[in-house]
Amino acid sequence: MNAANEIIHQTMRLKIMSALNALRTGAKLEFQELKSLLGATDGNLGTHLATLEGAGYIAIEKDFVGKKPRTRVAITRAGRRAFEQHVDYLRDVIAGAGGTSTSADG
Amino acid sequence: MDISREEASSSLREIGQAHRRSTVMQNYRHFAPHMLVWGCVWLLANGLCDFYPDQVGLIWPVASIVGVIVSLANRKRVRGRLVGTAAGMPGSMLAQGWRWVLAAAVLYAFFVATFNVLPPGSTIQATTFISLFFMFAYMIYGALAGLRVFFIGLIATIAILYGYFSMATHQFMWLGVAAGGALIVGALWVRKT
C-alpha cells in the first residue's frame, strides 16, 4: 500500500509538485511563473522550493539572461515518482484503503 | 501521518487545479509566439493585398511560407528554452519540423480542393473564408487548451464578419487589422499569463 509523504503533503509543496509534474520530462518553470501560478510570495515559495530540493524532488537551476538573474525549477525523476505515489495514497484514503503510514522519501 | 478522507479529497482538488493551471500556462507559452508571427503575417499580407489587390495570388503564398519558416524557428527557440538541451536534439527537431511542413501542405491542399469544389466569387471572399477557417480553429484549440485563445478567435471572427458584410471598400485592410490585430494583441495577452 502507498504511504503518505509528509514533505509533499504540505499545501504549497503539493501545488508546486503538481504544477511541475504537469510539465514534460526535463521541462522547467521559471520562479516568477511558478509564483504567479500558485499565488505565492517570494519568501514562501523559496522556502518550500528549498525543502523539496533538499529531498531531491526538484532541481533548481540558477543562471543569468543578460544581466538579469533567472531561477528555473524542474521536477526530478525521484520527485515525479514520490508525487505519483502520494497521489495514489490520497486516492487510497478516499477509497477507504488508506492507513496512517508515513514516508518522507516516497 | 493521518490524513482524513476530506483532507485527501481537498488535496486532490488542489492538485487538479495546480495541474490544470500549469498545463494551460504551458499551452499559452507554446502558442503565443506562433500567434504573434501569424498576426503579423495576417496584418502585412492583407495590408499589401489592399494596395495590390491583383497580386493576392502572389502575396499570400509568399507570406504563408515566411510564416511557416518563422514559426518553425520560433518553435525551436521556445522548446529549447522550455526543455533545455534535451529538447534541442537535432533528430527530434527535424521530425517535428517535418510535421509542421506536412501540416502546412495539408492545409494548402484543403483550400485548393475547397475552392475547386466551391469556387469563391472574389478574392476577398476567398481570403475571408481562409481567415474564418483559422479563427474557428483558434476557438476550437482555445476551448480545449486555454479559454483566452478561444476569446481571441471569437473577437477576430466577429470583426471579420462585420467587415465582410458592412464594408464596401478596404476589406483587405480591415481583415488584416481585425484578424492580424486580434492575434497580435491576443499573443501579448496570453504571454502575460
Contact A18 B14 (CB under 8 A): yes
Instruction: Give the range among B83-87, B97-101, B120-124, B166-170 with minimum mean pLDDT.
Output: B83-87
Matching residue, cell 500549469: B22
Higher pLDDT: B178 or B77? It is: B178
State yes or no: pLDDT of B84 exceeds 50: no
* Chain B touched by A95 (CB under 8 Å): no
Contact A21 B19 (CB under 8 A): yes
Instruction: Give the range among A17-31, A49-63, B71-85, B121-135 with minimum mean pLDDT.
Output: B71-85
Quote the mean pLDDT of chain B. 85
Query: What per-residue confidence (pLDDT) applies to A3?
Result: 81
Measured between beta carbons, which residues in chain A are less than 8 angstroms from residue B84? 26-28
State yes or no: pLDDT of A44 exceeds 90: yes
Nearest CA in chain B to A39: B18
Closest CA to B50 of B135, B149, B177: B177
State yes or no: pLDDT of B180 exceeds 50: yes
- Check: CB of residue B63 under 8 Å from CB of residue B46: no
State yes or no: pLDDT of B149 exceeds 80: yes
Letter string b/e over residues B175-185, b meaning 16 or more CB atoms within 10 A of that residue's CB: bbbbbbbbbbb
Higher pLDDT: A86 or B27? It is: A86
Query: What per-residue confidence (pLDDT) applies to B80?
Result: 57
State yes or no: pLDDT of B173 exceeds 50: yes
* Chain A touched by B65 (CB under 8 Å): no
State yes or no: pLDDT of B97 exceeds 80: no
From the list B14, B17, B87, which residue is nearest A26 (CB)?
A: B87
- Check: CB of residue A16 under 8 Å from CB of residue A34: yes
Measured between beta carbons, which residues in chain B are less than 8 angstroms from residue A30? none
Q: Which CATH architecture has domain A4-95?
A: Orthogonal Bundle (1.10)
Measured between beta carbons, which residues in chain B are less than 8 angstroms from residue A91? 8, 12
- DSSP conformation letters of B119-180: --SSHHHHHHHHHHHHHHHHHHHHHHH-HHHHHHHHHHHHHHHHHHHH-SS-HHHHHIIIII
* Chain A touched by B15 (CB under 8 Å): yes
Query: What per-residue confidence (pLDDT) applies to A77?
Result: 94
- Check: CB of residue A57 under 8 Å from CB of residue A35: no
Matching residue, cell 481562409: B130
The complex's ipTM works out to 0.84
Query: What per-residue confidence (pLDDT) applies to B89?
Result: 42
Query: What per-residue confidence (pLDDT) applies to B85?
Result: 40
- Check: CB of residue B24 under 8 Å from CB of residue B169: no
Q: What is the dihedral of CA B152, B155, B161, B164, to 10 degrees?
A: -80
* Residues 6 or more apart in contact with residue A53 via CB below 8 angstroms: A59, A60
From the list B2, B9, B25, which residue is nearest A33 (CB)?
A: B25
From the list B1, B9, B11, which residue is nearest A14 (CB)?
A: B11
* Chain A touched by B92 (CB under 8 Å): no
Domain residue ranges of chain A, discontinuous segments joined by +: 4-95
CB count, 10 Å around CB of A72? Answer: 19
- Mutation for B interface: A11, A12, A13, A18, most B CBs within 10 A: A18
Give the N- to C-terminal CA distance of chain A in Å, as an integer: 12
Cα(B160)–Cα(A52) distance, rounded to whole angstroms? 50
Query: What per-residue confidence (pLDDT) applies to B103?
Result: 83
Cα B142–chain centre separation:
10
Query: What per-residue confidence (pLDDT) applies to B193?
Result: 66
| A39 dihedral zone (left: phi>0; alpha: psi -120 to 50; beta) | left
Contact A28 B83 (CB under 8 A): yes
Quote the mean pLDDT of chain A. 88
Contact B83 A27 (CB under 8 A): yes
Measured between beta carbons, which residues in chain A are less than 8 angstroms from residue B19? 18-19, 21-22
